[in-house]
Each structure stands twice: as C-alpha cells, then as structure tokens.
C-alpha cells in the first residue's frame, strides 16, 4: 500500500505491506530510539507521538499513520536534551532501554497536564515500565524539570 507520512517533520513516501507495525517501520528507517520490550502492549518502551499524542508504536499499523505526523525522540532534540539532563543528574538513565519511550511520554504529559500532582504524574506515566531504577529517580528528575519549566 502506498503511504505518505511525516516522521520528525520529514516526509516519507513508501510502498509497504499493510501489516507492518509502526515500530518496525520506524526502526527500518533508522529511528533506533524506538524500542520493543514486550508483545502485549504493556511496557511503553515503543512510545512515539502521533499528531502530538503519545501512542504505542507496537500497537499501531504504519498505514494508520498515513497522512499524519509521527514524532520520535530523534525529532525533539532540544526538549529531549533538556529533560534528559535532569535524568542524567539523577543517574536515572540506568540501562537506558526504557528511556526513549519514557521521555516521549513525559514530554507528552508536559503538554497535556498543567501543574500535575504526584499521583497524576504517576498515573499518566503508569504505562512506562522500568526495571532498573525503582522509579524514584525518574520522579525526582520530573519534579525538578517541571519546577524549572513553571518559571518559563
């Protein structure tokens, strides 16, 4: 099937099989930040933005993104480096495998929620699993980041 979509604002025109998942298409085009951690849509590692909304690229057919804008970690360099710095200051990027999906969801959360409580932050991000950190350092990084962004 013929498709035309935008990935990080760059246009991609292609003829693909209609059952290719977005995660596999993205990785085949060199967007290696997108990771797979499970087959049951539970882990959140594959999170990307579709028209600005966080979705699981493992549960989205590429053809579904036809005519739409997809954003991966590679496409949000400044915001990623900014929030990533807060994570690095905590050491929260341990093995780093959950980091891209997690950061994409944090950036989506920042757009969607205003002054979230700790519970609201945790609920928004509940679909992002991490096995290394116990989540505490991630929360510290988020809080410091939101503090800084509040002053903007």
Q: Of 4, 77, 143, 149, which lies in the binding site for another protein, with binding defined by CB under 8 A?
A: 77
* Minimum CB distance to another protein smaller for 1 or for 148: 1
Give the Cα separation of 83 and 69 in Å (integer).
22
* Minimum CB distance to another protein smaller for 14 or for 61: 61
Site string for another protein, 33-62 (x = CB under 8 A): x-x-xxxxxxxxx-x--x--xxxx-xxxx-
71 binds another protein (CB under 8 A): no
Give the Cα separation of 52 and 37 in Å (integer).
22
Residue 86 · residue 144 · CB < 8 Å: yes
Q: Of 87, 107, 145, 146, which lies in the binding site for another protein, with binding defined by CB under 8 A?
A: 87
Tokens 């992002």 found at: 128
Give 3-state DSSP helix, strand, coil % of the chain, rounded to 5: 45, 15, 40
Q: Of 111, 134, 143, 147, which lies in the binding site for another protein, with binding defined by CB under 8 A?
A: 134
């Amino acid at each position: 099937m013929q498709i035309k979509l935008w990935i990080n604002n760059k246009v991609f025109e292609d003829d693909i099989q209609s059952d290719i998942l977005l995660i596999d298409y993205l990785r085949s085009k060199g967007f290696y930040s997108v990771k797979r951690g499970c087959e049951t849509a539970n882990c959140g590692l594959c999170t990307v933005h579709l028209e600005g909304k966080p979705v699981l690229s493992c549960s989205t057919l590429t053809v579904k993104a036809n005519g739409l804008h997809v954003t991966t970690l590679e496409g949000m360099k400044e915001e990623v480096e900014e929030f990533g710095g807060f994570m690095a200051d905590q050491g929260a990027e341990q093995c780093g495998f959950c980091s891209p999906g997690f950061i994409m969801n944090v950036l989506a959360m920042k757009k969607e929620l205003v002054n979230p409580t700790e519970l609201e932050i945790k609920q928004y991000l509940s679909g992002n699993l991490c096995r290394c950190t116990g989540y505490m350092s991630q929360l510290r990084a988020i809080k410091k980041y939101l503090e800084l962004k509040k002053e903007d």
